[in-house]
Structure 1
Amino acid sequence: MTQSQPWWKGGIIYQIYPRSFLDSNGDGIGDLKGVAEKLPYVASLGVDAIWLSPFFTSPMKDFGYDVSDYRGVDPIFGTMDDYRALVAEAHRLGLKVIIDQVLSHTADNHPWFEESRASRSNPKADWFVWADPKPDGTPPNNWLSIFGGSAWAWDSRRGQYYLHNFLASQPDLNFHNPDVRQAQLDNMRFWLELGADGFRLDTVNFYYHSQGLENNPSVPAGENKTFVANGVNPYTYQRHVYDLSQPENLAFLEDLRALMDEFPATTLVGEIGDDKPLERMAEYTHGNQRLHMAYSFDLLSERQGPDWVRDVVRRFQDGLGDGWPCWALSNHDVVRVVSRWGEGVDDPKAYARVLMALLLTLRGSVSLYQGEELGLPEAEVPLEALQDPYGIEFWPEFKGRDGCRTPMPWTPAENGGFTTGATPWLPLDPRHLELSVETQEDDGDSTLNQVRRLIRWRQQQPALVQGDLTLMENTGDALCWIRRSGDQALLVALNLTGSDVRTPVPCSLERVLTEPGFDGRIEGGELVLPPYQALFAEL
């Protein structure tokens, strides 16, 4: 990749969910040694970095997103020495290491919370968000938890409610307290000094709440419920005006950035869930003093199709300003994109590949989720095997996140080569075994090898890594944009549909590029895109 800008700007980040990557000790749960063992495979894809979902000490009620020790490795994942070895191996292979940071809340067995809940006068009494009940004993306001029910839980020791935007076992920290802010900055410094190259910030706009504890307004009748959450979740019935995205957060983001600037070549990428995600992204990535980049759920939603993608690109072009996006089509929280967007597709292999072409040609950085390079569909997980509290709460209309978190299929054998034990923590879908790494490695035309070639080709194109983007309008079902950087200009044309698409050539072209290996062509002044195909051409 070109070195004319920081590695993260236009870089490709491979997300690893350690619990499901590789189990090195036969207990059915993936671990850090397993991740380290498979890093040569990750490097073979041509990506720039890995993002490790949480591996910190945790009661695992939300599978690591409930932290009880910000500086400890949970024993199910290994030891601190295992982490150091993983970082050393990643760096040897030329991979940067980004780790998740869950700053907004802790586990309820974190020593901070255990002290805070003990009384109203202890040194950490104000480290979490506590409030008295209303006169009738009900919660202080109408705020809701994303995981269902009120965002307030009663604590009999203090005779007060505490705030939890997620599970009741995930109490929210009070970022209005400067000691809390400093403690979290110190925790991040700890990992930077151990060699971390950056952080993915979980729910980065949830750090602050309105101290007035005002009720959120409801979404007016007839207006769209804009917050991205599962479709049966009452959380979407509110406009989240007071419980998140408070203006005080900007100063804390600037403190975070100042810390990162002490460690050259590090990066911050924030996850933003908001009623106005693009507005938050522009705000949070503006200038050089806040986040380096951020991602929202625009392309992680159920909405799909050429018009939707074109609308997303147009809004980002018009509204992001000098900010920088990190694009993703799949992650550990949403249905895998091949299933989410591709229900009924008659050629899933071709569809997975054209989706990768979409992801790799947008202006911004890229987050690729483990197994996406294999074209994995969403796994079927029966009710009795569900682990995700979110899915258990909203079953059967929403099946939770387990279907995208099942173990990585390395071989076509039982349990996919993920574990030598009898039972993995989640069952593998038989369809995944047919798409295993081993099965695809020796097939030059497999999704895996096609994606490898596409990534490596993309990494050599300055226009795709760092260039500007100009959206071509009025191209029907063909998604078309031009990427420009320096002397290079490329036309990208994508057909995400199952029908042939023809559209007039939107600009003067020098030659069609065959290296990416797609079947798009030019005939009689028209772009001709067969189903699920693309065309790349030099201007």
Structure 2
Amino acid sequence: MEEAWYRNAIFYSLDVETFHDGNGDGIGDFAGLTEKLEYLHGLGIDCLWLLPFYPSPNRDNGYDVMDYYNVDSRLGSLGDFAQFLNKAERLGIRVLIDLVLNHTSVKHPWFQAARRSPEDPHHDYYVWSPKPLPHDKSELMFQGEEERVWTWDKKARKYYLHRFYREQPDLNIAHGPVRAEILKIMAFWLRLGVHGFRIDATQALIETYGLKGFTRKQGLQFIGELQAFARGRRADVLLLAEVNAGVGEMNTFLEGGRLHMLFNFYLNQHLFLALATGRRTALERALDRLPALPPNQQWLQFLRHHDELNLRLLKPEERDRVFSVFAPEEDMRIYGFGIRRRLVPLFGGPGRWVQLAYSLLFSMPGAPLLRYGDEIGMGEQLRLPGRASVRTPMQWSDAPKGGFSDGAGRTVAPVVARGPYGFVQVNVARSQQDPGSLLNWLERLISTRKQCPEIGNGRYFKRVAADRALLLHGFEGAKRRLLFLHNLSPEPVLATWKELGFRAGEATGLFADGAADDDPDGIRVAGHGFRWLSIHH
């Protein structure tokens, strides 16, 4: 089977409204994003994942959709979107868009029609009940912000179901016309030229709570129909699923080729646990449990994205350990299981520790994802509420408003202006001029990763070192083996030749932290150091 393009792609996530303002109104837009595509091309990005850009009241960062067939007027027009797609295609950058299937906005015309009468065709687009059904509050998506999943609607004189905010009523996936509408939405955007979809809250699509006569099996069958439908309209389409679950549940969504790609939340959380403890145990265990995937499926690996750093899959004591290291203050945490901080501040600055984390990310089985701004070391804005702390405007230069907007008015969100992560100190222009910047270092890492297709396609293997701080893993390809050495401890460690499985002179260095030296007995790796090696057959 031919290799799928996404198995070795470099992904980049951004929100159009916070990336670049092209018309000076203080809000990022498609005109501004189009201007910056060369920057992303130069960085080495293969695929852009765009957060929702549909018309929305923005109660939930655009995930409360009012119209699935249009662009929010604040961000431009469908014509602007088409121009953006055309330029992205010329630069070889594919585009994924968010497909929000679990819910709409209360202001969506479907819901407004549904409220008016039970006889309206749209009434069954949503889930209604004369009284709230029992529900486990521990399963609330936004603990501390929402206390229930049923809300009374005065006009309908019924309760409607919402697993997220009350302004986001759940769509009734059990209803055939809803499923048909979803296929129409996909066809529309595929026809415009997108390369696929990131399916929001995929697990919610197989939830049977509140639905009559709908089974988990039917939900999984529908997900398979989405993939078949999309593949029939674009042979190289990608369906990327958000599934925050353990290996067993993730396998459920991969079985039978239902979906092409999954965010690997399981590995992400155990990676941070390993970084917090300075021991490989948690990460190695997670890697051992991951199944090998066929050529048309892949993991998407990440460190941070637009939401909180979610630690829900860890045990309480493990979560507390991660909190104590990376979010020691209460206002750095959210929902009881998440961290609302940007990547570089988590590690205390753009030094060896964050480079170690990136090296781990890019050497994991799967394809890596970068979040906008993390490549220059942007910081969070903790005085903003909730998840907004990590959704501040991109910092392009030391010009007013960080070069995000040249307008006189306010920006869509406050630009980080003070402290060590303020836009005067941290911005793209300054980073590009500094040979030692995180941005320039990441460009070299991305270039190296592109020269290592074995990571996306090869057979994963591991070697075990005596020192528990040292992770040794690699990939076997048709012509070579790659081996990665990562020291999770701040103290130097030695990997002996016996542990490495080869002798001096049998490997070529590909990438390193700059402080790892060969030793007569093996390879000595500095604290929080790493090495990428190519071993000759």
Does TM, normalized by the shorter one, top 0.5?
yes
- The residue type paired with residue 279 of structure 1 is G
1:327 aligns with 2:301: yes
Alpha carbons of 1:246 and 1:432: their partners in 2 closer, same or farther (altered >3 Å)?
A: farther
Residues 281 and 320, structure 1, Cα contact 8 Å, conserved in 2: no
SS state at 2:68 partner: strand
Match of 1:380 in 2: 381
Match of 2:141 in 1: 146
Match of 1:360 in 2: 362
Match of 1:47 in 2: 45
Residues 458 and 465, structure 1, Cα contact 8 Å, conserved in 2: no
- The residue type paired with residue 304 of structure 2 is S
Match of 2:167 in 1: 169
Cα distance in 1 between the residues matched to 2:279 and 2:13: 25
516-525 or 152-161: which moved more? 516-525
Identity, in percent, stands at: 31
- The residue type paired with residue 154 of structure 2 is S
Alpha carbons of 1:257 and 1:522: their partners in 2 closer, same or farther (altered >3 Å)?
A: same
Q: Show CA shifts across 1:421-480 (max 9, x none).
A: 342222222314212110011122211111101101110112223222213334411222
Cα distance in 2 between the residues matched to 1:155 and 1:143: 22
1:248 aligns with 2:218: yes
1:292 aligns with 2:260: yes
Residues 52 and 97, structure 1, Cα contact 8 Å, conserved in 2: yes
**Residue pairs, 1:251-290, within 5 angstroms:** 251-262=221-232, 263-273=234-244, 276-288=245-257, 290=258
SS state at 2:301 partner: strand
**Residue pairs, 1:32-111, within 5 angstroms:** 32-111=30-109
Match of 1:532 in 2: 528
Q: Show CA shifts across 1:4-32 (max 9, x none).
A: 61111121111111111001122221111
Match of 1:401 in 2: 387
SS state at 2:70 partner: strand
Alignment equivalent of 1:118, drawn from 88, 109, 116? 116
Match of 1:10 in 2: 8
Unaligned runs of 5+ in 2: 311-325, 328-340
Residue 207 of structure 1, CA deviation: 1.8
Cα distance in 2 between the residues matched to 1:330 and 1:309: 20
Cα distance in 2 between the residues matched to 1:22 and 1:442: 20
Residues 298 and 312, structure 1, Cα contact 8 Å, conserved in 2: no
Residues 247 and 289, structure 2, Cα contact 8 Å, conserved in 1: no
Residue 349 of structure 1, CA deviation: 2.7
**Residue pairs, 1:170-185, within 5 angstroms:** 170-185=168-183
Alpha carbons of 1:313 and 1:173: their partners in 2 closer, same or farther (altered >3 Å)?
A: farther
Alignment equivalent of 1:351, drawn from 333, 350, 353? 353
Match of 2:518 in 1: 522
Alignment equivalent of 2:493, drawn from 478, 501, 505? 501
SS state at 1:367 partner: strand
- The residue type paired with residue 513 of structure 1 is G
SS state at 1:325 partner: strand
Alpha carbons of 1:292 and 1:498: their partners in 2 closer, same or farther (altered >3 Å)?
A: same
Match of 1:237 in 2: none
Cα distance in 2 between the residues matched to 1:346 and 1:112: 47
Match of 1:463 in 2: 454
Cα distance in 2 between the residues matched to 1:517 and 1:4: 35
Alpha carbons of 1:478 and 1:295: their partners in 2 closer, same or farther (altered >3 Å)?
A: same
Q: What is the TM-score normalised by the length of structure 2?
A: 0.84
Alpha carbons of 1:518 and 1:347: their partners in 2 closer, same or farther (altered >3 Å)?
A: farther
Residues 512 and 521, structure 1, Cα contact 8 Å, conserved in 2: no
Residues 115 and 122, structure 1, Cα contact 8 Å, conserved in 2: yes
SS state at 2:12 partner: strand
- Whichever structure has more helix as a proportion of its residues is 2
Residue 313 of structure 1, CA deviation: 4.9
Alpha carbons of 1:497 and 1:18: their partners in 2 closer, same or farther (altered >3 Å)?
A: farther
Alignment equivalent of 2:469, drawn from 454, 465, 477? 477
Residues 90 and 96, structure 1, Cα contact 8 Å, conserved in 2: yes
Residue 340 of structure 1, CA deviation: 6.7
Cα distance in 2 between the residues matched to 1:308 and 1:298: 17
Match of 2:443 in 1: 452
Alpha carbons of 1:208 and 1:86: their partners in 2 closer, same or farther (altered >3 Å)?
A: same
Residue 156 of structure 1, CA deviation: 1.8
Residue 537 of structure 1, CA deviation: 1.5
Unaligned runs of 5+ in 1: 134-138, 215-241, 392-399
Residues 498 and 531, structure 1, Cα contact 8 Å, conserved in 2: yes
Match of 2:411 in 1: 424
260-269 or 471-480: which moved more? 471-480
Residues 484 and 530, structure 2, Cα contact 8 Å, conserved in 1: yes
Alpha carbons of 1:37 and 1:299: their partners in 2 closer, same or farther (altered >3 Å)?
A: farther
- The residue type paired with residue 120 of structure 2 is N
Match of 2:479 in 1: 487
Cα distance in 1 between the residues matched to 2:106 and 2:371: 29
Alignment equivalent of 1:414, drawn from 384, 400, 410? 400
Alpha carbons of 1:6 and 1:308: their partners in 2 closer, same or farther (altered >3 Å)?
A: farther
Q: Show CA shifts across 1:478-530 (max 9, x none).
A: 22201111112011011243332333342215124155564323212233222
Match of 2:28 in 1: 30
Cα distance in 2 between the residues matched to 1:376 and 1:349: 14
* RMSD of aligned Cα (Å): 2.6
Cα distance in 1 between the residues matched to 2:392 and 2:202: 26
Cα distance in 2 between the residues matched to 1:85 and 1:358: 36
Match of 2:507 in 1: 511
